[in-house]
Each structure stands twice: as structure tokens, then as C-alpha cells.
Chain A
Amino acid sequence: MEKPVTYLETGKNAVIIRLEGGYLFRKKMGAMGIREQKTIRLVAKYPFHGPVVVEVDGREMTIGRRMAEHVIIGDPE
């Protein structure tokens, strides 16, 4: 099932299916390594609609909650 990466349980992996959003958003994410077909791991999720920490290719990054909601993943591994 497809859903945003924010639904992933902390510590779990899934494959990115697509990035929902405009060219600029996809480019920004892509430049940081968040792209289709990549395995993404959810490292931490902050309460009160706070940011999300993810790991792709062994690199951690913090992205805003709204951005994370536009990163769509497949079933968790």
C-alpha cells in the first residue's frame, strides 16, 4: 500500500515510490538523495507536527513534516 513516509514506524525501512510535488521540490529532495526507488529509513519523528529525520544511502537528514508527507513509500520491509 502507498502512503507517506511519515506513516513509517521509527526504525523501519521502505522503498520510495514517488515524490508528490512540483519540479523544484523533487529536485531539492533529489539533490539530498531522496529519490524514487531508494530505500528510506525513518530515524525519528517529532511530535506537534515537527520535523522528520530520515536516512537514505547511509546519510541522515532532517526534513519538514509537510515535505515528508509528499514522499510516498510502498510497504515497509
Chain B
Amino acid sequence: MKKIVLMGNPNVGKSVVFSRLTGANVIVSNYPGTTVDFSKGKMRLGKEGHEIIDAPGTYSLEPSNKAEEVALEMFGQADLIINVADATNLERNLYLTLQILEQKKPVILALNMWDEARHTGISIDIKKLEYDLQIPVVPTVALSGEGICDLIGRIDEARSPEKIEPMNESDRWIKIGEIIRNVQQVTHRHHTLRDWISEASIRPLTGFPIALAVIVAALWLVTFIGETLISYIFGPLFTLYTPIAMGISTWLGPGFLQELLIGKLIDGQIDYIQSMGLLTTGIYVPFAMVLPYIIAFYSVLAVFEDSGYLPRLATLTDTIFHRFGMHGFGIIPVFLGLGCNVPGVLAARSLETKKQRFIAATLIAISVPCMAKNAMVFGILGSYGTGYIILVFATLFLVFVISGLILNRIIKGDSPEICLEIPPYRKPDTLTVLKKTWMRIRWFLQEAIPFLFLGVLLINLLYAVGFVEWLGGIFAPVIQGWFGLPKEATTALLVGFLRKDLAVGMLLPLGMSPVQLVIATTLLTIYFPCVGTFAVMFKELGIRDMIKATAFMAGTALVVGGMMRFVLLGI
């Protein structure tokens, strides 16, 4: 079995080529750096099966960040390289191509975005290019699938040219210049509407109002889609389910199993938020409260990513993100973290230095509310009015800014400047968007739901053995004395460690005032992320940095909680 590796610059549609070749589900994006986690798939050529790997995008074989290191590693293991290049930007893409060819591995070149090159007035003589590079060259349009069959058919023609010897950087550019003059012709084109929109959205004066409008529209869209899904799909489903759950409850009769599966009945009825049974709250919270918004969020995000807007947003926010020790690219992990913190922390990988990665991961864990946290905030405070909800989010925003400023000061290390390609706006492909959204939702279901069940189960068990009472007693001085909350709120904090959204049902019956609830929910969002986020922080940052981040979180929670108590409760 051969190892075939796809290599190419960021943004050339490499992942789309990959998914065309394998039919596998991979995440594809219009901004550099997404594919840090490489994807693997299987592919059949004639009778033989091959392993095919999608390496992260890279500009050269001398890595300048983690993603590029991964790419180089993949390159080392490859038996055959499919080099994907952007036909609209051949000159720059050829740099990597030449470096690959110098390494004497069999190579085939896919000239992707062939249609776009034609539209922009670029014509490339394939025959001449094949002659110059001495490898097969296949024009492709991965989004529509054009040329992919050709590419597969010619993979066995891949070879390593004898004429190209290792050379230094300037010789490489000279060689590229020769090739370009020989094979490429560019007819000048006029500025189009797309160029005009592109410039307006990246100049500061027009860019900021546009960004604001875009974000407000996106939030509105997420809320609208989420609410629609709840009122027409998930809500009615649970209305149908209630009699079944009640039936099970009656059939089980009072006892431990009823406690565990159905939970407490409130006025003889199931209360999906407060009952805390595996088959009631354990199903309702993830499916009817969080999932609809996860679906809404990730579909809107996918459209965003594939349109090419995110690099522009990164440019706009660069100046401010520098104050937080990151650069504009940091907005991308933060954005992903708004859906679920876990992929957010994972995406922090694409930042160049340890300092940047640490700050991004810590800030996400502390102050970026994921959909589960949002569900909790809305679930608890929704009935008291929007003002209280805004209070929570305003506090989180302040915590983000202040923590960022502090972390930038106290964390040693470099924060290099931004260096980011701005891809042209592209119309998102419906199929790719749906595929990507589905991948992320499936991932959420697989990773997050087990924790939720586990959470409900564990809480019920810990309650039964009296552990929760005992822990509540220990933390009572902090909870009561410092935060001004009833000591039973400890349970909610404990549950929140497993799943934030479950804590709603624990806080509601305590009869706290709205202001106390504001403090409790804010604390629940910042004190610790959920177990899942902890696990990836451990994996990404290592044990020492994770402990550092944890200490910072605990400190922040203490300070913020205490201050909120003084400001809001006045004692």
C-alpha cells in the first residue's frame, strides 16, 4: 500500500481535492491554517488500495509554524506527492513545487481553480509546463469535480524529474521566472464589483461598519435558525416524548431507578430542566436546548469561512488582538470557540508561538461562551429580562479584554506580527457547507453528548452517596462569604465542570435573586471550562501550561466573583 500525500499552499482548495479523491468527510476552509489536523483516507487505484493524506497548507518545505511542520513530516513519509497549486497564482505556488521536485519523489501537479484562472484572464500552457517541470500536470476544478478523473487516471505517471537539482532560494525564483514567462499569459482585467466589495471590507473606514453589520446579521441569523428549529422540530418532538417518559416513570415506580432515569417529578410532572434524570434532563438539554443552536451556529460559520470573510475580520481586529499578545488570526479560534470551546482550543494551534497559543486557549476557556454556556445563561436569566443577560455578556467581554491585557504582560515569549493571505471572495458551495456543518455537528454529538450523560449519571450517584453535601460544606465559605451565593450553588459549580448546560437545573430551584443568578452564571462560565476543553488543553499545552492556565482561571473567577458581588449586591 502506497502513501499518497497532498501538498500545496494554503487556500488552493487542496482539501476539496482530497474529499473528491476519497469521498471522505473532511473540513475544508477558505482561510489558511484550518487543516492542522491532517486527514487520512483510502483510495483505490485499479486493484490496489492506497492511503491518502491531506497535509496542512504550506508555502515552503522550511516550516515556519506548527502546521507547516506537520506538512513537512507528512512529506517525509510520502511515496508519492500530489502537488495542488492555484492556477490563478501559479508563480508563487511554483516555489513549493520546485522544492518538492528537488527532493526526488514522484510528483503529479494538479492546477486547481482552473476556471477562476480563465475568468481572470490567465492562460497557462499545460503542455509547456509539463515539459518544463517534467511531471504530469492536470488542470482541475475541485469544487465541481472537473479534472479529478483525469488526475486519478494519471497518478501512475507521477515521477521525479532528473533535470531539477537542489538549488538556493534566489536561483529557485529565477527558474520560476523563466517558467512563468514561458507558460503563462495574463490579459489585463478591469475591476469588478467583487474587487470593490473586497476593498471596502478591508479598509478601516468602511471595514469596521461592515464588520459590525455582518456580525449582528450573523448573530440574528443564528438565533433565528435556532429558534425555528426548536419551535418546529425539537420542541414538538419532546411534546410527543413526554407521555412515553411519564409511562416509563409510572412503570418504574418510586425508587433508585426512577431517580436515576426520570429524576424528581415536580408537581407530579416531568420538568425537563430540573428533573435531572438521564431520560429527561439528560436528553432534553443537549437535544432541545444546545443542539439547535449548534446546528445554527456551525451552518452560519461554514458560510462565513467559505466566503473568505474571516481573514478580513482577522485584519480588522489585528491591532486590538496585539494588545492581548496575539495577532488578528486569533479571532478565528475565538470564533470557533463560540460554538464549542474544544474546537476553539484546537484551532489555537495555527498561531505561531507558544505564548500566542497559551493566551488564545486560556482566553477561550475563560471568557468565550460556547453554545452550552449560552443555553445556560438564557435558560437561567431569560425569564428575568434581557438586561440581566446583557450584564453577563458585558462582564465576559470585560474579562476577555482585561485578562488578555494581563496575560500579554505576564506571559513570556514572542507575539510575531500578522502575515496572512486574503483570498478573493468566493460563493460558498452548498454541498461543501452542508458537509462541513454535518461533520461538526456529528463531532459535537460524539464528543459532547457522552459527557452529558456521564454528568447526569455522576451527579445522581454523588448525590446518593452524600459527596455533594460534603463538598458544599467545604466550599461554603467561598461561595457564601465571598460570592454572596447560597451554599447549595456549589453543586451547580460541580456539575458545571462536567457540562455547563446542566447547571441550569441546579441553580433554578435555589430561589436566588436575579442579581445572584447573574453572579452564579458568570462564575459558571469563567471558573473552569468543561472536562472536554480541559482534555484538549492538556493535549495542546502540556501539563505545566494547563496548570498555569487553570490557576489563572481560578484566580480570575475569585476576583471577578468578588467584584461582582460588591458592585451588584453592594455588600
Q: Do A and B come from one complex?
A: yes
- Which residues of A approach B to under 8 Å, CB–CB? 10, 23-24, 26-28, 30-33, 35, 43-51, 53, 57-67
Q: How far, in whole Å, are A43 and B319 apart by their CA atoms in the complex?
A: 17
Q: Within the complex, which residue of A31, A43, A44 is in contact with B59, where a contact is CB–CB below 8 Å? A: A31
- Verify A51–B91 contact, CB threshold 8 A: no
- Verify B419–A48 contact, CB threshold 8 A: no
Question: Smallest Cβ distance from A67 to chain B, in angstroms?
Answer: 6
B568 beta carbon closer than 8 Å to chain A = no
| Chain B residues within an 8 Å CB radius of A23 | 169
Q: How far, in whole Å, are A59 and B230 apart by their CA atoms in the complex?
A: 43
Q: How far, in whole Å, are A35 and B172 apart by their CA atoms in the complex?
A: 13
| Chain A residues within an 8 Å CB radius of B421 | 32, 59-62
CB contact list, B77-96 vs A, under 8 A: 88-89, 91-92, 95-96
Q: How far, in whole Å, are A35 and B170 apart by their CA atoms in the complex?
A: 10
| Chain B residues within an 8 Å CB radius of A31 | 59-60, 92, 95-96
Q: How far, in whole Å, are A45 and B328 apart by their CA atoms in the complex?
A: 14
B429 beta carbon closer than 8 Å to chain A = no
- Verify B92–A62 contact, CB threshold 8 A: no
Interface centre among A46, A49, A66 (most CB of B within 10 A): A46
- Verify A58–B88 contact, CB threshold 8 A: yes
- Verify A64–B419 contact, CB threshold 8 A: yes
- Verify A58–B327 contact, CB threshold 8 A: no
Q: Within the complex, which residue of A24, A33, A53 is in contact with B92, where a contact is CB–CB below 8 Å? A: A33
- Verify B59–A32 contact, CB threshold 8 A: yes
Q: Within the complex, which residue of B60, B88, B120, B204 is in contact with A44, where a contact is CB–CB below 8 Å? A: B204
Question: Smallest Cβ distance from A23 to chain B, in angstroms?
Answer: 8
Contact of A63 with B89 at beta-carbon distance under 8 Å, contacts A30-B169, A48-B319 already known? no
- Verify A30–B315 contact, CB threshold 8 A: no
- Verify B318–A46 contact, CB threshold 8 A: yes
Contact of A62 with B95 at beta-carbon distance under 8 Å, contacts A28-B419, A35-B173, A53-B422 already known? no
- Verify B419–A59 contact, CB threshold 8 A: no
- Verify B92–A47 contact, CB threshold 8 A: no
- Which residues of B approach A to under 8 Å, CB–CB? 59-60, 62, 64, 88-89, 91-92, 95-96, 120, 169, 173, 198-199, 202-204, 207, 311, 314-315, 318-319, 327-328, 416-422
The residue on B at minimum CB distance from A48 is B319
11 intermolecular pairs with C-beta atoms under 8 Å apart: A43-B202, A44-B207, A51-B319, A51-B328, A53-B203, A58-B89, A59-B89, A60-B422, A61-B420, A62-B314, A62-B420
- Verify B169–A27 contact, CB threshold 8 A: yes
- Verify B203–A43 contact, CB threshold 8 A: yes
Known interface pairs A27-B60, A51-B418, A64-B318; 4 further A-B residue pairs with C-beta atoms within 8 A, sorted by A's residue number: A57-B92, A58-B120, A63-B417, A67-B419
Interface centre among B88, B314, B328, B420 (most CB of A within 10 A): B420
| Chain A residues within an 8 Å CB radius of B319 | 46-51
Q: How far, in whole Å, are A57 and B176 apart by their CA atoms in the complex?
A: 14
The residue on B at minimum CB distance from A54 is B422
| Chain A residues within an 8 Å CB radius of B422 | 53, 59-62
Q: How far, in whole Å, are A27 and B318 apart by their CA atoms in the complex?
A: 23
Q: How far, in whole Å, are A59 and B195 apart by their CA atoms in the complex?
A: 11
- Verify A33–B91 contact, CB threshold 8 A: yes
| Chain A residues within an 8 Å CB radius of B318 | 46, 50-51, 62, 64
- Verify A44–B420 contact, CB threshold 8 A: no
Interface centre among A27, A33, A59, A65 (most CB of B within 10 A): A59
The residue on B at minimum CB distance from A10 is B203
Question: Smallest Cβ distance from B497 to chain A, in angstroms?
Answer: 39
Interface centre among A60, A63, A65 (most CB of B within 10 A): A60
| Chain A residues within an 8 Å CB radius of B311 | 62
Question: Smallest Cβ distance from A31 to chain B, in angstroms?
Answer: 4
The residue on A at minimum CB distance from B205 is A44
- Verify B62–A30 contact, CB threshold 8 A: no
- Verify A59–B204 contact, CB threshold 8 A: no
- Verify B419–A30 contact, CB threshold 8 A: no
Contact of A47 with B204 at beta-carbon distance under 8 Å, contacts A31-B60, A57-B92 already known? yes
- Verify A33–B89 contact, CB threshold 8 A: yes
| Chain B residues within an 8 Å CB radius of A49 | 319
Question: Smallest Cβ distance from B250 to chain A, in angstroms?
Answer: 63
Contact of A64 with B418 at beta-carbon distance under 8 Å, contacts A28-B64, A48-B319 already known? yes
| Chain B residues within an 8 Å CB radius of A46 | 204, 315, 318-319
Q: Within the complex, which residue of B91, B204, B327 is in contact with A57, where a contact is CB–CB below 8 Å? A: B91
Question: Smallest Cβ distance from A59 to chain B, in angstroms?
Answer: 6
Q: How far, in whole Å, are A49 and B327 apart by their CA atoms in the complex?
A: 13
Q: How far, in whole Å, are A35 and B173 apart by their CA atoms in the complex?
A: 9
- Verify B169–A67 contact, CB threshold 8 A: no
- Verify B92–A32 contact, CB threshold 8 A: yes
Q: Within the complex, which residue of B64, B199, B416, B419 is in contact with A43, where a contact is CB–CB below 8 Å? A: B199
- Verify A62–B418 contact, CB threshold 8 A: yes
| Chain B residues within an 8 Å CB radius of A53 | 202-203, 315, 422
| Chain A residues within an 8 Å CB radius of B417 | 51, 63-67
Question: Smallest Cβ distance from A41 to chain B, in angstroms?
Answer: 10
Q: How far, in whole Å, are A67 and B420 apart by their CA atoms in the complex?
A: 12
Question: Smallest Cβ distance from A21 to chain B, in angstroms?
Answer: 12
Q: Please give me the 4 A-B residue pairs with the lowest Cβ-Cβ distance, nearest first.
A: A64-B417, A50-B319, A31-B59, A60-B422
